[in-house]
Structure 1
Amino acid sequence: MSNVYDKAHELSSALKDSDEFQKLKDLHVEVENDEVAKRMLDNFRNIQIELQQMQMQGQQPSEEEITQAQKQFEMVQQHEVISKLMAEEQRLSTVISDINKIVTEPLEEIYGTPEDNKSE
């Protein structure tokens, strides 16, 4: 029987070799080398983190904070490289989500899916 951890490391290597990962890595380097893009993205991500922390603490962001986040999002979306980076992040996230579904299939055989358990 093969070692499950060895397979996980093989999967990790395959992910690193994937087109999605390589494109994301290249775009990340491009953003890091563009001072304006890096600053814009850092500001946007800091706002995201602040809002998430507020929500985790049970606080509701103010209208002003939500508006500021939306404006920042619109700004970063207009930057070509950042927009490409975010699209590639989404593609890689989809790949990882798909992999997660595949990996957890054996558990679903035992426990069912969350959707199956809602009706109980």
Structure 2
Amino acid sequence: MSNLYDAAYELERTIRQSAEYNELKRRFAEVNADPAAKGMFENFRQVQMTIQQKQMMGQDISPDEIQQAQKTVALVQQNPKISGLMEAEQRMSMIIAELNKIVLKPLDEIYGSPQQG
């Protein structure tokens, strides 16, 4: 019987060796090496986290907060280093979501589909 933890650690090693992961890591380092881009990105992340926390707690997000978030997104998307990082994050996120589907497939086969009768 194979050890599930060994398989998980092997998947981690494979992710770390992937082109997508290394591109994300490179772009993150590029943003962090540029003080202006780093500051903008940190501000963006803070706005993003604040809104997510409010949503998780069921709090309303004010129109001003929405407008500020939209301005922040527009600003960071104009920075090529940050927009490149965001694209790399999105690609990595899609891969993780696909891997998650694969890993959860056995449980989905048990619980996922209602029985046809």
User: TM-score, normalized by length of structure 2?
Assistant: 0.93
Aligned partners of 1:47, 1:6: CA distance in 2, in Å?
Answer: 38
Identity %: 50
Could you list the runs of 5+ residues in structure 1 that have no partner in the other structure? none
Determine whether 1:88 maps to 2:88. Answer: yes
Aligned partners of 1:59, 1:111: CA distance in 2, in Å?
Answer: 32
- AA aligned to 2:58 is G
Shift of 1:65: 0.9
Aligned partners of 1:52, 1:109: CA distance in 2, in Å?
Answer: 31
Shift of 1:40: 0.1
Determine whether 1:35 maps to 2:35. Answer: yes
Bigger drift between 48-57 and 63-72 goes to: 48-57
* Correspondence for 1:99: 99
* Correspondence for 2:108: 108
**Does the residue aligned with 1:6 lie in a helix, a strand or coil?**
helix
User: TM-score, normalized by length of structure 1?
Assistant: 0.91
* Correspondence for 1:17: 17
**Does the residue aligned with 2:52 lie in a helix, a strand or coil?**
helix
RMSD: 1.2
Structure 1 runs of 4+ aligned residues shifted over 6 Å read none
Cα shift readout 1:25-58 (whole Å, capped 9, x = no counterpart): 0001111110000000000110111111222222
**Does the residue aligned with 1:61 lie in a helix, a strand or coil?**
coil
Shift of 1:83: 0.2
- AA aligned to 1:63 is P
Aligned partners of 1:77, 1:37: CA distance in 2, in Å?
Answer: 11
Aligned partners of 2:105, 2:86: CA distance in 1, in Å?
Answer: 29
Could you list the runs of 5+ residues in structure 2 that have no partner in the other structure? none
Shift of 1:16: 0.5
